[in-house]
Amino acid sequence: MNFLQTATPSSLRTAHFDLRQIIAGLAMCLCFAFLMGCASAPRMAGSRSFRFETDTFAYANEVDVDYAYDAQGRWVGHARQPKPDYTRHCFVVARSAGQFFQHARFDAARPKATDAGYRRLVRKVVSTSPRRDLAESAKVIIPGYANLREFSREQERLLKEECGSFWQSYFQRGHWRMVFPFSRGSQAKMAARLAMDLRKNRPPIVHLVCFPSLRINHAVLLYEVQETPEEIRFATYDPNAPQQPTWLAFRRAGRTFDFPVNTYFPGGRVAAYEVYRRGCY
């Protein structure tokens, strides 16, 4: 996402939300969580691996402010001009990429559909819960295109309009979780579970936070894992940067996650947990 707000040059905040909006959204998410419970159906193993080159969107969730270290070593921001028109959608973009991977099948051999036809198909894909899997025979067929990257390059406006508004990022039901502490043990268990999911071709969508600091509040999709004695490294699709993959690393020694420096985050330790999996997340 970055739900980034315009910042003064000396600001160290890369906040995605206004704090009052966060509190209001968390309260609502807590209510949903208690009402719905945390039950969920087990996910099936996927039949193929997620590929960054074909299974991601060609367009970006843009940020309002670009950050970098200045000559004095300060992390400062500069508002983008002109202001981007597609921002604060990182949860929508990451979730939708996962839904197209789980629920859609592209067929370039079929003739292209009309604008109305594609809108209907996209709505069907993104209205299917990311917490469930579809059998191959039940997947939504997207005609005229070979993959999501190609589809989103040509149908960018349509997809931005149909995949969901930024309010779906503000009120994702799992936001309540970030206000509670993340122990090192719980992060180690999360890293192991994410790695297991990827070995079963189930790319998880992960919420990265530094709460109560608002340096980052962002959603990414993990699609590949490599393990060494020192770390578990997850290849990562960042909705803010569709040009190339990034990574999220779990450091075994400290039992902590680490995310690299980029145009909206100074790099360093983050807390990570999977969303769009359980009933309360």
- The pLDDT value given to residue 71: 85
Give yes or no for a contact between 222 and 206, defined as CB atoms under 8 angstroms apart: yes
pTM: 0.84
Closest to 62 measured CA to CA, from 206, 272, 241: 241
Q: Packing angle between helix 115-127 and helix 90-103, nearest 10 degrees?
A: 90
Question: Is 213 a domain residue?
Answer: yes
- The pLDDT value given to residue 1: 52
Burial class for 184, CB neighbours closer than 10 Å (0-12, 13-18, 19+): exposed
Q: How many CA atoms lie within 13 A of 233 on its CB side?
A: 10
Quick one: DSSP state of residue 209?
A: E
Question: Is 92 a domain residue?
Answer: no
- The pLDDT value given to residue 17: 45
- How far, in Å, CA of 105 to CA of 250, rounded? 32
- The pLDDT value given to residue 45: 59
Quick one: DSSP state of residue 111?
A: P
Domain residues for the domain of 230 are: 173-275
Q: What is the CA radius of gyration of the chain?
A: 18
DSSP string of 54-90, one letter each residue: HHS-SS--B-SEEEEE-TTS-EEEEE-SSPPSSBS-H
Both tokens of 145, joined, read 């295109």
Give the torsion sign (CA, 37, 3, 93, 189): negative
Burial class for 219, CB neighbours closer than 10 Å (0-12, 13-18, 19+): buried
- The pLDDT value given to residue 180: 87
Question: Is 254 a domain residue?
Answer: yes
- What's the full length of the chain, in residues? 281
Question: Is 189 a domain residue?
Answer: yes
Per-residue pLDDT of the chain (281 residues; tens, 9 = 90+): 544 333 333 333 333 445 445 555 555 555 444 434 454 445 555 678 999 999 999 999 999 888 888 888 888 888 888 889 999 999 999 999 999 999 999 999 999 999 999 999 999 999 999 988 888 899 999 999 999 999 999 999 999 999 999 887 777 777 777 788 899 999 999 999 999 999 999 999 999 999 877 788 999 999 999 999 999 999 999 999 999 999 999 999 999 999 999 999 999 999 999 998 876 76
Question: Is 187 a domain residue?
Answer: yes
Q: Is 196 helix (H, G, I), strand (E, B) or coil?
A: helix
Decide the pairing of beta strands 140-143 and 104-107. parallel
The total of structural domains in the chain comes to: 1
Distances in Å between the alpha carbon of 267 and those of 68, 100, 248? 11, 30, 11
Question: Is 146 a domain residue?
Answer: no
Question: Is 69 a domain residue?
Answer: no
- How far, in Å, CA of 120 to CA of 265, rounded? 36
Question: Is 246 a domain residue?
Answer: yes
